Amino acid sequence: MPESRFTGARIREQRLQRGIKQTDLAAAAGISPSYLNLIEHDRRRIGGKVLLRIAGALGVEPQLLSHGAEAALISGLREAAGRVKGGAVELDRLEEFAGRFPGWAEAMVGAERRSAELERNVKALSDRLAHDPRLAESIHEVLSVVTAIRSTASILVETRKLEPEWQARFHRNIDEDSRRLAEGAKALVRYLDAAPGSDADIRSPQDELDQFLTENAYHFAAIEKRGAAAIDAVLDAAEGLTLPTARHLARMHLEDYARDAARLPRATLARALADAGCDPPALASETGVDLPTLFRRLASLPEEVAGPVGLVVCDGSGALLLRKPIAGFAVSRIVAACPLWPLYRALTQPGAPLRRTLLQAWRDARPVRAFAVTEPLGPALINEPPLLRGYMLLLPADAHAGDHDTPAPVGTSCRICPRQDCVARREPTVMQDGF
Amino acid sequence: MGKQVLLIEDEPNIIEAISFILSRDGWTVRTHSTGRDTMDVVRARAPDLIILDVMLPGRSGFDILADIRADPAVGATPVLMLTARGQRKDREMAEKAGASRYMTKPFSNAEVLAVVRDLAGE
C-alpha cells in the first residue's frame, strides 16, 4: 500500500494546524526543509525513524500519521468509487482525501454501504414479486380472460352478417368472461392488499438463512474439506446474515452439515451415485447411512454431482425448516403448504419411508419423484411419543427410473389451489371459476 | 377442403374465438386443450400449422414444442406460440425451442390472422 503518500498529506495537515513552519519542523526532525517539502507533497517515501522524529516534533502519535484505521476507510472509499458510474473520481487522490477529511470520508463510506443495502432490499422484494406463484398465476388468468374478451368482442364488431346463433353465443361468452375478469381483479386486489412486505418485517431471520443457503447453492466446500473447523470462517464471510437469530440458525445448519459430511463424505457419496444413480434407497443401503442423513447430503451436493435435488424439512408442527426448491414444484416461502404432501403424511407413520410421484396443480408444474421419511429427535424415552422431523426429498420424475405411476395430484397452498372437493382444504381458494 | 390448423390452448373462449375467425378465413380448425397426449394428436392430425399456448395444464408448451421439433414426421410444421407472459426470457426460450413466431396475450384477431396467413405462405 502506498502509505507514504497518505502520510505526507497528513504531516502537512498536522503541521499547518499547529502553525509550524516547514523549516522549523524540518530542523526539529533533523532533515532538510526541501526534503520535508518533498515528503509533504508525496514525492518521497518516508522511513520509520524520520516519521518518529516528525511525530515527536508535532507532538502526535506516529500511527496518526501513518496507516491504521484509515486502511479500512480507504478500501471503503475505493469500493464507493467503483460503484460511481461515469463520474470522474480522483482515485489518485483517494488517500489524501481520507487523510485530510476522515469525517467526510467516513460519512461517504457509510452512505454508500446504506445505499448498497437498500438496493439489496429492493432486489429481494422484486424477486419476491417475480417469483410469487400466486401472483404470477392470477396475472396469467387475468390476461387469458382479457384475451378471450378482446378476441370475442372484435368478432362481434367486425364480422358482417354474423348469424344470430353465433352472435348469441359470443354475447354469452363475453358475459361469462367479464364476470370472471371482475372476480379475478378483485382476487388480485385482495391478494396485493395482504401482500407480504406491507408490514415492516420484510426480512425475517428465516429469509436471511434462505438467502444465505441459496447464495451458496446449499453447498459448503470448505466444510466438506475441513469439517466443523471451517464454520467460523464461512459465517464470517456471510455478509447477508445481519440478524443475530439468522446467524444462530445458520450456525446450527452448518454444524449439522459438518456432522453429516463426516458421516457420509462427498467422495463416498459421489462413488455410490456413479454406481447406483440417484436412487435414494439403493444409495442408503450402499453407504450405510439413514435416509434423513442421505437426503441432507444429496441436497448439499453441487448439481453436477447429484443432479437437481429438492428438499423440504418440517418439524412436528408442520413448520417448514428448510426449503430447497426444484423446478416444477412450488414451495411457498410465505404461506403454509399442502397437507397432501407425503412430507406430512410420513409424520403419521413414523419410520416408514414413502415414495410417490407428485404433480401440483399449476401451469408450469412438473411431475416430481418424492421420498418422505421421518427422523426422531433425541433419544427414545419411556412413555413419551417421539418428537419427529419430516423430510421430503424431491427429484425430477424420470420415466426411465421407473416413475410409471400416475402422479398424485397435490397442491401448493390452499389459497391458490384450484382442486375441487379436496378433503384437506383449510380455506377457500381465491381462484374461483378457474381463478 | 382448406388447410388445417391445430390449436392447442386451454382457455375455452379463446378456442372458440380463434376457431371462428380462422374458419371464416377458410381454415379447418382442430383443437386440443391439455398438455397431455399432445404428440399423439399432432401426429394423427399432421396439421399444416400449429398454434400452441405456452402454459397448458399437464405439460409446458416449450416441452411440447421440443417434442414436435424432434419428430421427423411433423418437425417442420410452422408453430405460432402464445403466451400471457411477455418477458424476454420467455421469448428467448420460445426461439430456442424452435417457435416460428411468438405472440403475447392479449393479441388482436387481425394480428393472429396476419401471422397465420404469413406462416402458411412461407
Asked if residue A419 and residue A334 are part of one domain, the reply reads yes
The last residue of one of the domains, among A64, A91, A107, is A107
- Please provide the average confidence, as pLDDT, over all residues in chain A: 84
Q: Which of B21, B56, B108 sits opposite A150 (nearest CB)?
A: B108
Q: Identify the structural domains of chain B with CATH numbers, from first to last.
A: 4-113 (3.40.50.2300)
The last residue of one of the domains, among A175, A193, A211, is A193
Q: Is residue A366 part of a domain?
A: yes
What does the pLDDT read at residue A70? Answer: 66
Residue A204 has a CB neighbour count (10 Å cut-off) of 14
Q: Which residues of B touch A154 (CB under 8 A)?
A: 108-110
Q: Which of A136, A139, A155 sits opposite B21 (nearest CB)?
A: A155
Give the DSSP per-residue string, A261-293: HHHS-HHHHHHHHHHH-S-HHHHHHHHT--HHH
CA distance B52 to chain A (A): 14
Lowest mean pLDDT among A184-193, A403-412, B3-12: A184-193
Q: Tell me: pLDDT of A345 over 90.
A: yes
Reading the block at residue A298, the C-alpha cell is 444429496
Q: Is residue A286 part of a domain?
A: no
Split into its structural domains, chain A has a count of 3
**CA distance linking residue A203 with residue A182, whole number of Å:** 33
Query: For the residues A350-362, what does the mean pLDDT come to?
Result: 89
Q: Tell me: pLDDT of B12 over 70.
A: yes
What does the pLDDT read at residue A402? Answer: 61
Share of chain A above pLDDT 70, in %: 88
Asked if residue A404 and residue A337 are part of one domain, the reply reads yes
ipTM: 0.86
Rg over alpha carbons for chain A, rounded to the nearest Å, is 32
Q: Tell me: pLDDT of A247 over 80.
A: yes
Please tell me which residue of chain A has the smallest CA distance to B13: A148
What does the pLDDT read at residue B65? Answer: 92
Q: Is residue A239 part of a domain?
A: no
Bridge partners of residue A326, in order along the sequence:
A329
Q: Which residues of B touch A363 (CB under 8 A)?
A: 55-57, 60
Bridge-based pairing state of the strands B49-53 and B79-83: parallel
* pTM of the predicted model as reported, rounded to 2 decimal places: 0.47
The last residue of one of the domains, among A193, A226, A245, is A193
A316-324, Cβ contacts within 8 angstroms, sequence gap of 24 or more: A316/A347, A316/A387, A316/A388, A316/A389, A316/A390, A318/A344, A321/A389, A322/A213, A322/A253, A323/A210, A324/A213, A324/A218, A324/A299
Asked if residue A312 and residue A426 are part of one domain, the reply reads yes
Q: Tell me: pLDDT of A130 over 60.
A: yes
DSSP tag of B122: -
pLDDT in tens, B19-75: 999 999 999 999 998 888 889 999 999 999 999 998 888 888 888 999 999 999 999
Q: Is residue A423 part of a domain?
A: yes
pLDDT in tens, A48-101: 778 888 888 888 777 777 654 566 677 778 778 877 776 678 878 887 888 788
What does the pLDDT read at residue A2? Answer: 41
Reading the block at residue A292, the C-alpha cell is 434423513
CATH number of the domain bearing residue A373:
3.30.450
Asked if residue A80 and residue A45 are part of one domain, the reply reads yes
Asked if the C-beta of B29 comes within 8 angstroms of chain A's C-beta atoms, the answer is: no
Q: Is residue A267 part of a domain?
A: no
What does the pLDDT read at residue A4? Answer: 43
Asked if residue A139 and residue A102 are part of one domain, the reply reads no
Q: Do A152 and B85 make contact, defined as CB atoms within 8 angstroms?
A: no
Q: Is residue A218 part of a domain?
A: no
What does the pLDDT read at residue A295? Answer: 96
**CA distance linking residue A314 with residue A254, whole number of Å:** 17
Asked if residue A426 and residue A344 are part of one domain, the reply reads yes
Q: Which of B13, B56, B112 sits opposite A148 (nearest CB)?
A: B13
Q: Which residues of B touch A169 (CB under 8 A)?
A: 16
Q: Which residues of A touch B60 (CB under 8 A)?
A: 363-364, 366
Query: Considering Cα of A121, then A122, then A123, then A125, what sign does the dihedral take?
Result: positive
CA distance A96 to chain B (A): 47
Lowest mean pLDDT among A170-174, A188-192, A369-373, A430-434: A430-434
User: Which B-chain residues 36-95 have CB contacts (< 8 A) with chain A?
Assistant: 55-57, 60, 84-85
Q: Do B17 and A364 make contact, defined as CB atoms within 8 angstroms?
A: no
Reading the block at residue A5, the C-alpha cell is 503518500
CA distance A384 to chain B (A): 45
Asked if the C-beta of B14 comes within 8 angstroms of chain A's C-beta atoms, the answer is: yes
**Among B31, B23, B26, residue whose Cα is nearest residue B47:** B31
Q: Which residues of A touch B13 (CB under 8 A)?
A: 148-149, 151-152, 173, 176-177
Share of chain B above pLDDT 90, in %: 56
Lowest mean pLDDT among A30-34, A74-78, A383-387: A74-78
What does the pLDDT read at residue A400? Answer: 55
What does the pLDDT read at residue A241? Answer: 87
Domain assignment of residue A147, given as a range: 132-193
Please tell me which residue of chain B has the smallest CA distance to A157: B109
Asked if residue A100 and residue A136 are part of one domain, the reply reads no
* Residue appearing with cell numbers 477529511: A101
Asked if omega into B106 is within 30° of 0 (cis), the reply is yes
Q: Which of A151, A169, A363 sits opposite B14 (nearest CB)?
A: A151
Asked if the C-beta of B11 comes within 8 angstroms of chain A's C-beta atoms, the answer is: yes
Q: Which residues of A touch B84 (CB under 8 A)?
A: 139-140, 143-144, 147
What does the pLDDT read at residue A67? Answer: 59
Q: Is residue A260 part of a domain?
A: no
CATH number of the domain bearing residue A57:
1.10.260.40
Give the DSSP per-residue string, A197-244: TSSS----HHHHHHHHHHHTTT--HHHHHHGGGGHHHHHHT-TT--SH
What does the pLDDT read at residue A119? Answer: 82
What does the pLDDT read at residue A339? Answer: 92
Q: Is residue A207 part of a domain?
A: no
